[in-house]
A and B are shown apart, each in its own frame.
Chain A
Amino acid sequence: MLALRLARGAHPLVQLRRLLVAAAAAGTGFLLLCTLAYAMEHPGAGSVLRLAWCVAPIAATVYFAVAVARTDPGTRPRAGLSAVGLGPARLRVLAAISTAVACALGSMVALLVFLHLRGDLSGLPFDGAAAELLAAERPLPLAAALTLLTVVPLAASATSAAALRPRSAKAGGVEEPAAPAPAPSGLPWGVALLAAGLAVETYASGRGGGPGGGLPMPGGADGNPAGILAGWALTALGLALAGPGLTYLCGRVLQAARPGAVRLLAGRVLQEEARRIGRPLGVVCAVASGAYASAVLYAGPRPGVGPLTTLGALLVAGCAVLTLATAAVEARQSRADTTAALLRLGAPATMLRGSAALRAGALTTVFAPLTWLVAELAALPLGR
């Protein structure tokens, strides 16, 4: 009940974030139900693979839900709640509950839309618009549908509870300056994985996996050897691992060589927030390079992209971008005290905005060419 009460009184922007989580969960739930419908229609080997492809949107949704749970002001340790015994440990439970509520809401919407499009629920436009696609003539196995729909809420709430476990004994309200975060160490690993991924991909395509020789892609564009997919996965993992290290380096370069106030603040903040910003940024880059490569892949004389593939791709891309935005909000929240102190000193608000813009610009100048390069290299073997 407390979770609901806290959720009810929240700021509209916080509600919007929760609503976005619900929307992502709805999209993922709908994809899962469509996979179920396909499996009912075509009981064969292909449906397992389709289900496996749903892992990507599920992972993206869970990732986004955890990022939102982190920024949720309701789950932040607060001096008042801490005093009445509602410390970080109990707040973790609250976070898990509110994440589960948002995701369950999304799953409900997915089920309603699915039933509606099948024609089971009537009285609205588009009744049974996709009846034959969604296996309307067969009864829906309720247990299977519910199992699929509980995957996202359970995974999201369990992950957010794990992610929010109290790391230190720091209670809310105690203002002690935190020790500077050590430099992220993932950069060499990230670069190594990136290179390995590109190499695997090139090697696999060089071996010439003929049509029909490998895993089918969603949307019918089959004939891609598993090697290319493994290469893609390695590349994406490498980018996500290299993100924090690259961000840290960006900050380090920004504040080097006799900085003024703007460069000093921008660089140091970037160094401090490298982990928080860098990881989602790396994921966004990985998704972007994947999108570029798949654009090249589907541009060829192959079957077009189905609506469900588009939905899945949109879910993954949207969740990645929204997670980055949420991480930026989280970084801003954690620096609110310092910003207030700077404003009291008379720091112009334009200077603070300029510093933020400088940070964004530096990250863009580093990550945009990198993404483009990785995408070009990844798409190179596909184009042949």
Chain B
Amino acid sequence: MVAPPDNDVLWARALHVTHNGSPALTGVSLGVREGEILAVSGPRGSGKTTLLRCLSGQLLPQQGEVWFNSSPVHTMGPLVRERLRRDRFGWIDPEPHLVPELTAWENVALPLMLRGGSHRSAKPAAQEWLERLDIGGCARKRPHALLQAERQRVAVARALVTTPSVIFADEPTAPLHRADRAHVLRTLTTAARSHGITVVLATHDPELAALADRAVTLLDGRRVKTVHLPDTDAPPGPGPAAGAARASEAGTAPGAGPGAGPGPSDAEGRAACSLSV
């Protein structure tokens, strides 16, 4: 077992995951540096969500290693991983998934209370984060009375309220319109930068990936250097999903991670490219 590089908060090596026999990740390696915003981009079905679930300890890879701050996540028991998620990680789903019985501020305060915080201390913290995300007026409303963009912002506040080490955002802006999309993402990245939170952002939208410090591209469960889509000016929805992705190793990747391992994964990436052309 090789010890991971010291400056990486999260580090994964040669992850292999199959969902019921069909391969989802085949030999993906990457490192996430402390405090950076890393975009994991790629079309639908390229294994972004699976990668995020592996990194956050929700899913154990069949092969490969995941290290968080020099502790091995892949060997932890389910209870330890659960505590790790609760104490160190935040998670944002594509859908808000708020608890419908609780008001907005109670939803935001829930992670604090799950960590054992008291009602008295959780309330002002939740209120403060709602104010910061411009939805302080909705604090007493239940999710059914909120707009979808407001709900998603509540979900972002819920992930930020504990100021975790890493936030995993799985297509956090998928159900939103473009204006809301930019706003939600800007608030997330600003808050993350000001609090030194590392963000791993899965997105199929190249525009959103451009907001990140660094981008990692997945294609069919493999890591590739860059993906040239046939028509980048086209609206971002159907283009990547059509899967007519052409990858070339000649393009300049915006900084390949140090843990990225130029050996096997690149070769596999090339194999994927030649297949997909």
Contacts and interface: CB of A to CB of B under 8 A. Distances in A.
A, B assembled together: yes
B263 interface: no
Given A177-B100, A268-B101, A258 B120 contact: yes
A182 interface: no
A348 B101 contact: no
Given A180-B144, A344-B91, A338 B120 contact: no
Interface string B94-110: 01011111100010001
A346 B100 contact: no
Contact of A180 (B98, B106, B142, B151): B142
Given A341-B93, A344-B91, A346-B89, A178 B106 contact: no
Interface residues of A, number: 28
Dominant secondary structure at the B interface: helix
A268 B113 contact: no
Given A180-B101, A345-B111, A260 B144 contact: no
B186 interface: no
A178 B100 contact: yes
B110 A344 contact: no
A344 B93 contact: yes
A338 B100 contact: yes
Closest 7 CB pairs of A and B: A346-B86, A346-B85, A268-B101, A341-B97, A261-B113, A258-B119, A177-B100
B95 A264 contact: no
B115 to A, nearest CB: 9
A164 B221 CA distance: 43
B274 interface: no
B144 A345 contact: no
B2 interface: no
B85 A345 contact: yes
Interface residue tally on B, bucketed by range: 20 to 34
Nearest to A339: B99
Nearest to B106: A264
Contacts of B97: 337-338, 340-341, 344
Interface in B51-98: 58, 79, 82-87, 89, 91, 93, 95, 97-98
Given A178-B100, A259-B119, A346 B83 contact: yes
A271 interface: yes
Interface of A: 175-180, 258-261, 264-265, 268-269, 271-272, 337-338, 340-342, 344-349, 351
A239 B236 CA distance: 59
B250 interface: no
Nearest to A337: B97
Nearest to A345: B111
Given A272-B101, A337-B97, A338-B100, A344 B58 contact: yes
Contacts of B143: 177
Given A259-B119, A261-B110, A342 B99 contact: yes
Contacts of B95: 175
Nearest to B164: A346
B118 interface: yes
Contacts of B110: 261, 264, 342, 345
